């Protein structure tokens, strides 16, 4: 009787998901890498050319300018990762402030009542954008451009009809104004330097958005609907609900920004906000979001907003002609887009 040699064990391959990734590969795979490099370059540049740029009070001013953009850039970045745009985001901020102010003034109600009514109205606008997008299947550019035009007209029309002018009436002497100002427009003093509370709102939104994107099932849905909507729907991703939720996220940030606008200046000009939507999109793109969707990060949008704030105030600190601001902003947009594309190609090449 002859012994049969045991068959050789089949060769096993390690699961690619369990393979260790080098730190360099992980770094190159981060969508915000290009914007971080750009932010360091802009910071060093203005640190050299503007003597007052590194002062604590100057950095506080830069952070405030960045926060007013960053609060909106965060949800706009998530929306872009989901493959959509919102051209009504800028005027929605003004609409939010106008609703709070006019409702409180006309109803002689506690200011907080107007703030809560504004929240409901603003979220409804976001839901409307998402609903129209998912039901009509029209491009988000068309849907939100229509909303932009309607809100622009309503802001002006309702304000002139109710107030008789293009601005709202003062509500600074109404009940609840001081406490609302503490929440949305107060100043915190740290080490003798004043910081606006919008900076905390900005950081909080970045943290929450990053947690949603990286640690939750909803984050997977956002990347999926932005990368391949039909494939995502085929595997059970609630595409319509995800997109509506993203638009409502933009609306929520617009409500925060609108309340800050109102309680910082007491009155609101009905024509404000036009053009701001492009700034939010630019900050998200500089931060690594792709126009085509499916790629980006909340941290990247924050870095993009920080670059915007440094450039905006750095030109002033350097005592340059501010007319050049948009030139620098456009140049940064092009350079950041090219750098992001290069980083992504390098990341794909190292896989």
List the chain pLDDT tens, one digit each, 351 residues. Answer: 444 555 544 444 444 334 455 665 666 667 777 788 888 888 998 899 888 898 999 999 999 999 999 999 999 999 999 999 999 999 999 999 999 999 999 888 899 999 999 999 999 999 999 999 999 989 999 999 999 999 999 999 999 998 889 999 989 999 999 999 999 999 998 888 899 999 999 999 999 999 999 999 999 999 999 888 888 888 899 999 999 999 999 999 999 999 999 999 888 998 888 889 989 998 998 888 888 888 889 999 999 999 989 988 888 888 888 777 778 777 877 776 677 667 667 656 655
Do the strands 193-196 and 187-190 form a parallel or antiparallel pair, or are they unpaired? Answer: antiparallel
231 vs 154: CA distance, rounded Å: 39
* Helix, strand, coil percentages in the chain from 3-state DSSP, rounded to 5: 70, 5, 25
Coil, helix or strand at residue 272: coil
Q: Which residues pair with 167 in a beta bridge?
A: 269
Residue 203's pLDDT is: 96
What's the N-to-C CA distance of the chain in angstroms?
Answer: 53
For helices 89-107 and 276-286, the axis angle rounded to 10 degrees is 130
Alpha-carbon torsion, ordered 68, 70, 71, 77, to 10 deg: 150
Four-residue CA torsion sign, 124, 130, 131, 136: positive
For residue 76, what are the contacts with CB-CB under 8 A and spacing of at least 6? 86, 89, 250, 280, 281, 283, 284, 301
The model's pTM: 0.88
Is there a contact between 254 and 79 (Cβ–Cβ < 8 Å)?
no
| 303-342 exposure pattern, b = at least 16 Cβ within 10 A, e = fewer | bbbbbbbbbbbbbbbeeeeeeebeebbeebbeebbebbee
DSSP-derived secondary structure for 169-233: PP-TTSTTHHHHHHHHS-EEEETTEEEETHHHHHHHHHHHHHHHHHHSHHHHHHHHHHH-HHHHH
> SS3 for 21?
coil
Separation CA 163–CA 148 (nearest Å): 22
CA atoms of 315 and 65, how far apart (whole Å)? 13
| DSSP character string of 117-143 | HHHHHHHHHHHHHHHHHHHH---HHHH
Residues 104 and 174: their CA atoms lie apart, in Å, by: 8
The sign of the torsion formed by the CA atoms of 287, 291, 297, 302 equals positive
What are the structure tokens assigned to 45, written together? 């540049």
Look at the chain and count its residues. 351
């Amino acid at each position: 009787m002859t012994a049969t040699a045991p068959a050789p064990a089949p060769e096993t391959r390690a699961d690619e998901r369990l393979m260790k990734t080098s730190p360099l590969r992980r770094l190159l795979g981060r969508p915000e890498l290009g914007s971080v490099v750009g932010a360091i370059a802009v910071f060093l540049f203005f640190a050299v050319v503007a003597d007052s740029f590194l002062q604590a009070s100057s950095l506080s001013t830069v952070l405030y300018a960045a926060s007013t953009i960053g609060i909106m850039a965060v949800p706009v970045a998530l929306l872009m990762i989901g493959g959509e745009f919102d051209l009504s985001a800028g005027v929605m901020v003004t609409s939010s402030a106008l609703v709070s102010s006019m409702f409180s003034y006309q109803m002689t109600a506690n200011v907080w009542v107007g703030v809560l009514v504004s929240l409901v109205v603003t979220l409804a606008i976001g839901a409307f954008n998402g609903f129209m997008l998912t039901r009509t299947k029209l491009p988000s550019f068309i849907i939100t451009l229509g909303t932009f035009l309607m809100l622009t007209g309503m802001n002006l029309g309702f304000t002139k009809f109710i107030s008789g002018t293009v601005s709202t009436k003062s509500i600074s002497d109404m009940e609840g104004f001081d406490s609302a100002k503490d929440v949305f427009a107060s100043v915190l003093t740290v080490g003798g330097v004043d910081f606006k509370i919008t900076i905390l709102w900005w950081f909080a939104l970045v943290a929450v958005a990053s947690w949603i994107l990286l640690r939750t099932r909803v984050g997977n849905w956002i990347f999926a609907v932005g990368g391949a909507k039909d494939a995502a729907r085929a595997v059970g991703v609630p595409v319509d609900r995800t997109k509506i939720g993203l638009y409502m996220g933009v609306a929520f940030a617009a409500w925060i920004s609108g309340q800050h606008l109102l309680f910082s200046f007491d009155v609101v000009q009905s024509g404000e906000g036009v053009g701001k939507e492009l700034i939010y999109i630019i900050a998200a793109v500089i931060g690594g979001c792709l126009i085509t969707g499916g790629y980006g990060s909340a941290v990247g949008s924050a870095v993009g907003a920080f670059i915007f704030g440094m450039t905006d105030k750095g030109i002033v600190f350097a005592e340059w002609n501010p007319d050049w601001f948009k030139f620098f902003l456009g140049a940064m947009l092009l350079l950041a887009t090219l750098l992001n594309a290069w980083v992504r190609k390098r990341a794909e090449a190292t896989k």
